[in-house]
Amino acid sequence: MIRVPAEPAGTFPDAWRHCVGTGRLDLALRRDYQDSLALLQREIGFRHIRGHGLFSDGMGIHRPYDHAGTRHVHHSFTHLDQVVDAYLSAGIRPFLELGFMPGGLASGDRTVFWWRGNVTPPRDLAEWAALVRATLAHLVDRYGIDEVRTWPVEVWNEPDLPDFWQDADEQAYHRLYEATAHAVKEVDADLRVGGPALSPGAGEGWLLRFAEFAERRAVPVDFVSRHAYSSGPAQHVPFGVHQTLAPAGRLLDQFAAPRRELKGTRLADVPVHITEFNSSYRPDNPVHDTAFHAAYLAPVVVAGGDLADSFSYWTFSDVFEEAGIPTALFHGGFGLLTHRQVRKPAYHLYAFLARMGRDLLTRGDDHLVTRHPDGRVTVLAWAPVDPSGATPGPDGHTLRLSVPVGGRGEAFLWRLTVDEEHGNAYTAWRRMGSPRSPRPHQIDVLHEASEPARSHRRLPIEDGRVDLPLTLARHEVAFVELSRVEDETPPWWDERRLLGREPA
Amino acid sequence: MIRVPAEPAGTFPDAWRHCVGTGRLDLALRRDYQDSLALLQREIGFRHIRGHGLFSDGMGIHRPYDHAGTRHVHHSFTHLDQVVDAYLSAGIRPFLELGFMPGGLASGDRTVFWWRGNVTPPRDLAEWAALVRATLAHLVDRYGIDEVRTWPVEVWNEPDLPDFWQDADEQAYHRLYEATAHAVKEVDADLRVGGPALSPGAGEGWLLRFAEFAERRAVPVDFVSRHAYSSGPAQHVPFGVHQTLAPAGRLLDQFAAPRRELKGTRLADVPVHITEFNSSYRPDNPVHDTAFHAAYLAPVVVAGGDLADSFSYWTFSDVFEEAGIPTALFHGGFGLLTHRQVRKPAYHLYAFLARMGRDLLTRGDDHLVTRHPDGRVTVLAWAPVDPSGATPGPDGHTLRLSVPVGGRGEAFLWRLTVDEEHGNAYTAWRRMGSPRSPRPHQIDVLHEASEPARSHRRLPIEDGRVDLPLTLARHEVAFVELSRVEDETPPWWDERRLLGREPA
Amino acid sequence: MIRVPAEPAGTFPDAWRHCVGTGRLDLALRRDYQDSLALLQREIGFRHIRGHGLFSDGMGIHRPYDHAGTRHVHHSFTHLDQVVDAYLSAGIRPFLELGFMPGGLASGDRTVFWWRGNVTPPRDLAEWAALVRATLAHLVDRYGIDEVRTWPVEVWNEPDLPDFWQDADEQAYHRLYEATAHAVKEVDADLRVGGPALSPGAGEGWLLRFAEFAERRAVPVDFVSRHAYSSGPAQHVPFGVHQTLAPAGRLLDQFAAPRRELKGTRLADVPVHITEFNSSYRPDNPVHDTAFHAAYLAPVVVAGGDLADSFSYWTFSDVFEEAGIPTALFHGGFGLLTHRQVRKPAYHLYAFLARMGRDLLTRGDDHLVTRHPDGRVTVLAWAPVDPSGATPGPDGHTLRLSVPVGGRGEAFLWRLTVDEEHGNAYTAWRRMGSPRSPRPHQIDVLHEASEPARSHRRLPIEDGRVDLPLTLARHEVAFVELSRVEDETPPWWDERRLLGREPA
Amino acid sequence: MIRVPAEPAGTFPDAWRHCVGTGRLDLALRRDYQDSLALLQREIGFRHIRGHGLFSDGMGIHRPYDHAGTRHVHHSFTHLDQVVDAYLSAGIRPFLELGFMPGGLASGDRTVFWWRGNVTPPRDLAEWAALVRATLAHLVDRYGIDEVRTWPVEVWNEPDLPDFWQDADEQAYHRLYEATAHAVKEVDADLRVGGPALSPGAGEGWLLRFAEFAERRAVPVDFVSRHAYSSGPAQHVPFGVHQTLAPAGRLLDQFAAPRRELKGTRLADVPVHITEFNSSYRPDNPVHDTAFHAAYLAPVVVAGGDLADSFSYWTFSDVFEEAGIPTALFHGGFGLLTHRQVRKPAYHLYAFLARMGRDLLTRGDDHLVTRHPDGRVTVLAWAPVDPSGATPGPDGHTLRLSVPVGGRGEAFLWRLTVDEEHGNAYTAWRRMGSPRSPRPHQIDVLHEASEPARSHRRLPIEDGRVDLPLTLARHEVAFVELSRVEDETPPWWDERRLLGREPA
């Protein structure tokens, strides 16, 4: 039995809600996307949102034209304004990622993804800098300098991978970063710029060399960023892949890496943002849809805040098209939500976190206990998994907590459960026959099947504490809330007089 | 094992959705009321709505004034238009009940209810007839004659009870009916008028005498109406009562009474509307809030359509103030929904009915089986109860059906459960300590606790049939849907390769 | 020509938006009311809302009952919670007025208004104090102490009038105030309590004696309050009255009275709230519906902030029933909005104020000029009226301003007009034939007719200034906005090539 | 003076609302698009919607893959279902256009538009037919056969132009049509299929040869379709063009052409759908944004229903990207609405049509007069324009009608005006300085500036008629409604007693 302390050990860090990932920015114009974001913000509430493609042609910002025999460039914000308006009206702010390269400014035609993001350096760094300045200046003009100063600005994405930056040319990235950071600061010295948004595979040297370059060239770096994924090699099937996963601790190692690597450098104390993380880095791995996935990630989202200032789940919605338009409702997408807003188990993991209290009472391998200002004590608990694929993992799990709720009498226990059978539309969808394009009635059932199981009961309080044994099912993530009962049952009430109860 | 026939026995009558009751009409101006009605119509979908107080002073229709030394009457529709607009925009139509008496037209000051509905005859029948004509004519002008012809017009409420009609004066009612019916027909001969809206306690003679009177005086009667309740005497406690109930069959007897009584009269074939029914006739009996109540009423709503053209659940919402403004969220109100739209078990009974198919396959003491045009077979099943209060009733119930779903392979089973623990916010509220004015967070939990339990699985199909054993918990009402699985799982899918499954 | 200074004289006080009046509190449960409030807050944005009837029986708070042979009192917040939830979700906070007397606590049966607010002292001051404490404590529990501390608490309404306080018994009011103020402070010492909510007719002595009493008895008074109206005696017609008005300055005199009267007393420096004001104090005077009314009040709302900390327009909506349920859409109600949210001219006066800038540039008898942080200069201008009824007043009015917009080139002028013909649904309704219950199509037309006229043009800037001649129509209130044009017309644009323009 | 007959000449044909055009189908996933469509349907109400790109890669329907060494094709409806769901929930139905060619089925890489619609024939007609069958069968399965039978199915778009069909290969189109029509009919014989969706420039021979081919090969043709545009050659500027226009009658000639050309053929009596029409065929011609445009098209939309079964305005919204993402709010797009739903003058032309009555009273070169069932008489009137660009056209226009409203007394006149100054956000935008990305405050002003001017007055009725002189401003389109006043002003009302009126 774990005796939960009655005095808080401090505040539970909410780095987990600092940022969330999204598919390419112009997807934010979609209705399904905006409805999903509204739901996400109502029930969870992230602070920032980060995605690729701000400067890609689907956003239509960089618009060269000829007039009177000369080349000119319009900077056009028709789409960007709609995207940012949508974010702010949903109560979330951009975490700007500057990339990829507009077609009219690209030095080559190499692209990434189905939607063809151009990954080549700019043909003209000055024209790129002008694009950055014009965009930031427009945002400041439209949304106000106080607002935009809260939006981090990240330069490019995973330049250490040739898929995302032609030849993974490190020197070229440094040049790009330098031009960009200066352009940002020319708009306003208090805008926050950072990078280098490294992939998990980037060797330690990359970040150190970035720090050295920044120091040598006196280039501003207000934060550093990298990504974290834990999957093994992809085994392809049509429209999908399978992968094994490293233990979840591997993700925490990656979260911790920047601070460890930068110790002693000029960047030792800048904020560290894990601007993408997930188990698999593939948008077509069915693991993302499962209860296993939520249980696998639970210890990561609970402990990550010790190691980094943010870690951004990649991504909030299956409205995401890097590998093409999905061909089935469940297709292994990154989303916490499917198309049409069916909640996945990992969504519930975040929704449970959002119901936790501010005060941290205790934390362990399989649990987190917090308290709200009004005295409610909340528990997040999860079952262990085997990510290797070698075994199906344990069938369930038990733990037992002594929870301080104060006072005497009884406590009201409220429990939400997500496991293989509950809060799990994926299981229902598989049982339905995996309908690629579910009928309206099937979508309704999937929405219902995605709701967690709920239960409640009363437990006795002794010495201000409740003895709480928890039995978790296979791959379960559970949320439990305990509150002392203030009984307003009137003195004349006799339960036995209610029909269907024990007769008087 | 009950072998459900594969061929439908006919269409399941939907008299259950023909009408629903409401508190006094001016409550329809409220936001909570309208939100509740919108929810009700989205998830259930009744056709008509009937409530008291159309002519009471809270609607402000009858407005006498003096001008130039003479008494005049304005007929004013400020509120009525808003009420009817609200109904139509929610997709429900009025079942007009003409009553009670406006203060300025009343012959006495006797009132009923906390809100003081005047129950005395008009001081002047001609002025009453003018009021009726003006109101109907206004409705026809505003909503169109085709629309208003679909709204039944009922004359007064329970004139056989002195509480509702001074001295229960039968002759006076006949006079009122006659004047009213003619006034209605003067507006349009195809408007449908009826009565006498008898209480359950009205002796058989009442209805016969009404038929004789109508025949003798050649008064139009387009339908007959009465009410049905099954509760025993009220045992009062502050803000509440307890009552025993007769077996549910007693309600069906009451539904059947008008046709039985009118056999051989001129009214033998007019439609019969049970314009109010419930177990207890008290708006402060906690039985209305329970799972027991849903299980008790299930056989009534399933069989009632054989006996009457409609039977109107009294009432859809706890926004209802006959005994005063409720002092607690759960207070034994008639509502399918509490204030703030928490669904009660009886709400789910209706919501389950609304998910049943058009084709009736079979029906029994504890079940109803129907089929949808797309082949889905739906089952409503319920556990027996003891309404006498002498015992708590059986702990559960089992039944077993052989369900024809056609084809081969497997069926997808989808089950919704409402019982003492699930779909039952009342149980949660009691466990919370019966908070009279729940905090916002408690209201959220009650909304969650009001959701039915959901489960799903696959069952084998043999000879086109599924063997469906059903185990019902105490006071459970269950909805089950079976559909043949059309499996779209691709040939390359290997479940064992999904993490957390049996390894390959 | 008035030369508007380029440097602000200070900030334009927004006392005008501090509070707005409402009909009795339980009307806040209505849909029309809530829709109206949402519109009001979206387009104008008041801070507080004040109305009668918090403790009247329609709110159902004070609920005596007998149990085991003893009288008890429940305090029930079923309605109050819904009302306050509605306010907060519309973005407005209560300005609590404690009154009238619950039936079960009243010492007599004297009532005011159609809805019968009981105006007698409590039978038992201790039971009244318990009611106050329980209500405030509940609000603090539900909404938090930080929130409730921002809600002023006013004791009773117009105790100097026998209609509102039996016999206008001053000593009895002092006793009530004392018991109430202490009860409020027992809940929290930082709650703000005040009074005495005097009528415009209260002699000077009333307030002084209140101050003396408060000092003598050491009773807390955190603010003082009174009302202001400017109408003469009522000349009755059925469902309406006519009245002449004093010049608008009379209202400002009343706003100024408390500070003047309290000079030298202990209450000299407490905030002064004019908790009700309007021209006529009658809810059935057609003047409220007219353009005349907006023009009459314009100088009051512009200057009032110099004299009082708030002045609360009585009331925001015609959903108001003191004289009975209105019998016609336009009936001379107090509302800025009619039933169903048709905007009246006075609504636009407030909506124009809400579009004014923070910086006050200048102010005069017929104009107010302000500037927004982004440089837009806004003008409110109004035509003079004759409130005596002796003449129809001047037909129009002209003024001329030299407006500093800075820079060079041209300015964009945007003008909104409300007068006898525009922004004036009342004129349209009269022309339609004064339909008491307008058809849906007529309501649509009235909504359209209530929109202000809009026009725009370009004006030259010379020496950083625009010469702005304004011609106002009869009873016009105009809003004008000037902003320097930043022309983005591309160099290749040739207006003459657009069809319908001068040919090239 | 034109004497409008009191008896209707028949029903005013509503072919004008049968169909409206849209940008490529996957734009329907956007929020701005769906909000615009909802507005359009609420205020106008079209029946069908037609756009390109159903089979283009942005819809993701045709999805080839390799498995076990063989090529297969998935048909995937992830996006299509969302698009059609959005249409139906907005109350509009698809007018299906089958095209362009999926990348995986194309025989070449020739594309049209910025978004690269592939315009080459299928590599494999059988695979194309399978795609058509699968898509129609899916729609029938999801939406029901009764629903889908109401959706016309058009084969390809403008195959007579090499831009839209490689080499404008007529034989290849016939082969495509034949395979497609049979595939459609295989799904259901009652689905309606047609073509050939000719461009305005297609010679007469094209349609005749299509009819001969259909007869010779016994290919089903349930309707014929062509397009109509009236613009001259494009004179390019950056991000825009200028063009002169032919007189509006040229459009009507094109509407009439199919029936004229097909006289005597087997297709003489099939319905004729003008599946696109507008003045200019360019999405970057500023004429689309002007009042001129509305006045130019008014006689076309009024008379078009005599000549064709539908004529589909191309397009309802500026959310349209054939020439790239628009770089400014007003950019000469086809839309009735701009991005963010600012109404253009042509929008109002349609909104005015939607307010006309069912009964046609009379029609002329500058007017249309209809009557509603409730007696309201409605007039649409418009000023003449000069489309040649040679002159700016007349400054205004007058007409005079004698309008039969019946009865005696007075009539209420309600008038809406759209001209250069009113209902014209384009003029306001130009005066603002043509801001490419307007600030939120500017967008608000543009929305206000887009509202028509409104006015009302009373006119005397003599001999059941109103003498209605109409003075139209430059390029004005006016809507006028006349209804007899049923005066409910009470006998005691004395206008002179209202303040600001003539004193008594």
- pLDDT, tens digit, for every residue of D117-139? 999 999 999 999 999 999 999 99
Which of C239, C290, C431 has its CB closest to that of D457?
A: C431
Is the pLDDT confidence value at C503 over 80? no
pLDDT band at D426 (very low <50, low <70, confident <90, very high): very high
Binned at pLDDT 50, 70 and 90, residue A502 comes out as confident
Which residues of chain D lie closer than 8 angstroms to A340, CB-CB? 82
Q: Do C454 and D456 touch (CB under 8 A)?
A: no
d(CA B161, CA B201): 9
pLDDT tens for residues B257-315? 999 999 999 999 999 999 999 999 999 999 999 999 999 999 999 999 999 999 999 99
Q: Tell me the pLDDT band of C204, cut-offs 50, 70 and 90.
A: confident
Nearest Cβ partner for B63 among C34, C138, C327? C327
Phi, psi of C371, rounded to the nearest 5 degrees = -135, 145
Tokens of B441: 């967070």
Tokens 């509204």 locate to: A38
CATH number at C3-7+359-484: 2.60.40.1500
Contact C142 B439 (CB under 8 A): yes
Q: Where are the domains of chain A?
A: 3-7+359-484, 13-354
Q: Mean pLDDT score of chain D, rounded to an integer?
A: 97
Choosing from D7, D127, D154, D158, which is the catalytic residue?
D158
Q: Which residues of B touch D (CB under 8 A)?
A: 67-68, 491-492
Radius of gyration of chain B (CA): 25
- Look at residues C488, C355, C362 and name the one whose alpha carbon lies nearest to residue C415: C355
Q: Is the pLDDT of residue A449 over 90?
A: yes
Q: Over 70: is that where the pLDDT of B504 sits? A: no
Per-chain mean pLDDT for chain A:
97
C-alpha distance from A205 to closest chain B C-alpha (Å): 33
Query: What pLDDT band is residue C504 in, cutting at 50, 70 and 90?
Result: low
Strand partners, A124: none
pLDDT in tens, C406-456: 999 999 999 999 999 999 999 999 999 999 999 999 999 999 999 999 999
> How confident is the model at residue D74, as a pLDDT?
96
Q: Taking 80 as the threshold, does the pLDDT of residue A503 lie above it?
A: no
Instruction: Please determine, for residue D359, whether its predicted confidence score (pLDDT) is greater than 60.
Output: yes
Residues B106 and B118 sit within 8 Å (Cβ to Cβ): yes
* Chain D: residues touching A (Cβ < 8 Å): 29-34, 58-60, 63, 65-67, 72, 74, 76-79, 81-82, 85-86, 138, 141-142, 238-239, 324-329, 339-340, 436-437, 439-440
B12, B354 Cβ separation under 8 angstroms: no
Measured distance CA(A380)–CA(A374) in Å, rounded: 18
- Chain B neighbors of D490, CB-CB under 8 A: 67
Catalytic option among C154, C158, C476, C481: C158
Selecting among A97, A154, A158, A276, the annotated active-site residue is: A158
For residues B175 and B128, what is the distance between their CA atoms, to the nearest angstrom? 11
pLDDT at D416 over 70: yes
pLDDT tens digits, A234-286 = 999 999 999 999 999 999 999 999 999 999 999 999 999 999 999 999 999 99
Backbone angles phi, psi at A88, to 5 degrees: -65, -35
Distance from CA of C61 to the nearest CA of B (A): 8
Q: Which chain D residues have any C-beta within 8 angstroms of a chain B C-beta?
A: 67-68, 490-492
List the one residue out of A130, A133, A126 whose CA is nearest residue A185.
A133
User: What's the rounded Cα separation, in Å, for the pair A321 and A317?
Assistant: 11
Across the range D359-372, mean pLDDT stands at: 97
* Strand (E) or helix (H) holding B470: strand B465-473
Could you give the count of Cα atoms lying within 13 Å of D292 in the half-sphere of its Cβ?
29
Q: What is the pLDDT of residue A203?
A: 80
Specify the pLDDT at position D269.
Answer: 96
Kindly state the average pLDDT of the residues A347-359: 98
What does the alpha-carbon distance between residue A139 and residue A61 come to, in Å, rounded to a whole number? 13
Paired with C51 in beta bridges are C22
Which CATH topology does B13-354 take?
A: TIM Barrel (3.20.20)
Residue A73 bridge partners (DSSP):
A64
pLDDT tops 60 at residue D504:
no
The yes-or-no verdict on residue D339 having pLDDT over 80 is yes
Query: A158 an active-site residue?
Result: yes
The pLDDT > 70 percentage for chain C reads 100
Kindly provide the ipTM of the predicted complex, given to two decimals.
Answer: 0.96
Q: Which among D33, D327, D340 has CB closest to A63?
A: D327
H helices then E strands: how many in chain A? Answer: 11, 25
Phi and psi at D163, nearest 5°, equal -65, -30
Q: Which residues contact A273 (CB under 8 A, 6 or more apart)?
A: A18, A19, A95, A152, A154, A194, A223, A224, A225, A308, A309, A310, A311, A312
Does B202 have pLDDT greater than 90?
no
- Tally of CB atoms within 10 A around C489: 12
Both tokens assigned to D373: 């069932």
For the beta carbon of residue B68, count every other beta carbon within 10 angstroms.
Answer: 8
Q: Which residues of C touch D433 (CB under 8 A)?
A: 412, 485-489
Residue A42, C-beta contacts closer than 8 angstroms, at least 6 positions apart:
none
Q: Write the single-letter amino acid at D308.
A: A
Shortest alpha-carbon distance between residue C423 and chain D (Å): 10
The pLDDT of residue D203 is 80
The pLDDT of residue D290? 98
Q: Which of A67, A68, A492 sits opposite C67 (nearest CB)?
A: A492
Q: What percent of chain D has pLDDT over 70?
A: 100
pLDDT recorded at residue C421: 97
Question: Residue B389: which pLDDT band, with cuts at 50, 70 and 90?
Answer: confident
Query: What's the order of all strands across the beta sheet hosting D93-94?
Result: D93-94, D48-51, D19-22, D310-313, D272-278, D223-229, D193-198, D153-155, D96-98
Q: pLDDT for B419-429, tens place per residue?
A: 999 999 999 99
Mean pLDDT value across chain C: 97
Task: State the Cα–Cα distance between residues D486 and C434, nearest whole angstrom.
Answer: 9
Under 8 Å between Cβ of B96 and B153: yes
Cβ within 8 Å, pair A449-B454: yes
- For B67, the closest of D67, D68, D492 (CB atoms) is D492
Q: Confidence band (pLDDT; 50, 70, 90) for D502?
A: confident
- Which pLDDT band, with edges at 50, 70 and 90, does D317 fall under? very high
Quote the pLDDT of residue A504: 56
Residues 6+ apart with CB under 8 A from C69: none
pLDDT at B92: 98
Mean pLDDT computed over C199-227: 95
**Which residue of C lies nearest to A493 if distances are taken between CA atoms?**
C67
- Whether the per-residue pLDDT at D485 is higher than 60: the answer is yes
Nearest-angstrom CA–CA distance, D153 and D50: 10
Q: Residue C425 gets which letter from DSSP?
A: H
Residues B333, B341: contact at Cβ < 8 Å? no
Residue A287 scores a pLDDT above 60: yes
**How many residue contacts between A and D have a Cβ separation below 8 Å?**
104
Q: What distance in Å separates the CA atoms of residue D136 and residue D51, rounded to the nearest whole number? A: 17
| SS3 sequence of B2-13 | EECCCCCCEECC
DSSP helix/strand/coil, B225: strand
The pLDDT tens digits of the residues spanning C376-385 come to: 999 999 999 9
CB B128 within 8 A of CB B179: yes
Q: Cβ atoms within 10 A of the Cβ of A18, count? A: 21
Chains that touch B (3 or more CB pairs under 8 A): A, C, D
